Amino acid sequence: MVDYIGVTDVTRLVTNLGLGAFLERLASEIESDYRRWDEFEKCARVAAHSEVGVIELMPASDATRYAFKYVNGHPKNTARGLLTVTAFGVLADIETGYPLLLSELTITTALRTAAMSALAARWLARPDSRVMALIGNGSQSEFQSVAFHRINGIRTLRLYDIDPLASAKLEQNLRAMPELSDLEIVRCSSAAQACSGADIVTTVTADKKNAVILTPPMIRAGMHLNAVGGDCPGKTELHVDVLSMPGLQTFVEFAPQTRIEGEIQQMPNDFPVTEFADVVRGLRPARNEIHSITLFDSVGFALEDFSALRYLHTLVQEERRERRTIDLIPELADPKDLYGGTLGASKASFRRAS
């Protein structure tokens, strides 16, 4: 039997720990896997693009486990009452090839994206950063808010979305969370106003286009930019001139993928970047100086889904009464007799019943 984690299971696991604690522990799991970067087989995700969205497969593996995620991104879905992003994933055993876990990853993708954002900022942002602008207040925004509050000590959140109802939704959800009782929430009328006074700027918009969310006049020395929404070819959030600003340092997850999908798709192939794994492992410095501008060009990498699946599998195996399994793989008395142990056995049972 294969362990199964559905939407209700993830909701239970997160609720039992608390959202902030879950995000903090997930960030720690992701960081531990980035520290052993060289142990992983890595590749850019396989994508099927259309005019309305993208469907992707994201694999990663080490010497003992293999994982993949199926994920889509369809920004126009919300107009049809559907989610923009849905996902599921598999964790498998390298030695036997058997799947160990089939899991939902729609909620978990939002969790791991927020955990990765906050983890990167812990390494790259100024340690005294307490004010964050959050531009794009859709389905990812609550997770980003809680992660940055818990992991980075953000105490003021400046919100902006082109849809005021999205900001109202986000503020209502955040104010209902007891763990955010000390968080000041400020709703702004423009992206520029949101950036004013911010130490960290997170952009997490959904439109599949080369948008201009941030321009150089919005950015000041010492800022950390967390660009999340630009995550496929033809989808960006930063004006190209931001990438040429003096003192800008750009950090990525996996350079071959980010050069295709991230903000840096707007730049030549030799545009200088630092992979986050090199920072975590002490091979490359993080922020050069207090006045540097750091950019985490986040597109989402399969290693983070590997970490999330591994972490979820650990949590669900610790449970007894709540643990669920599915018969995804046949269990045979004779592994050489697939027919006799499945269809043949069913026919025999049917004849006996008749």
Encode burial over 317-331: b for 16+ CB neighbours within 10 A, e otherwise.
eeeeeeeeeeeeeee
Within 10 angstroms of residue 343's Cβ, the number of other Cβ atoms is 10
Q: How far apart are CA 253 and CA 47, in angstroms?
A: 17
Q: Is 327 a catalytic residue?
A: no
Residue with tokens 């960030």: 27
DSSP-derived secondary structure for 99-129: EEEEEE-HHHHHHHHHHHHHHHHHHHS-TT-
Angle at alpha carbon of residue 35, lines to 43 and 238, rounded to 5°: 60
Contact 100, 2 (CB under 8 A): yes
DSSP secondary structure string, 197-229? T-SEEEE----SSEEEEE-GGG--TT-EEEE-S
Nearest in space to 177 (alpha carbons), one of 146, 210, 138: 146
Question: Which residue shows structure tokens 């993949």?
Answer: 68
Which of 9, 33, 231, 297 is flagged as catalytic?
231
Cα→Cα distances 285→164, 288, 300, Å? 39, 7, 22
**CA 116 to centroid of chain Cα atoms:** 6
Catalytic residues: 231
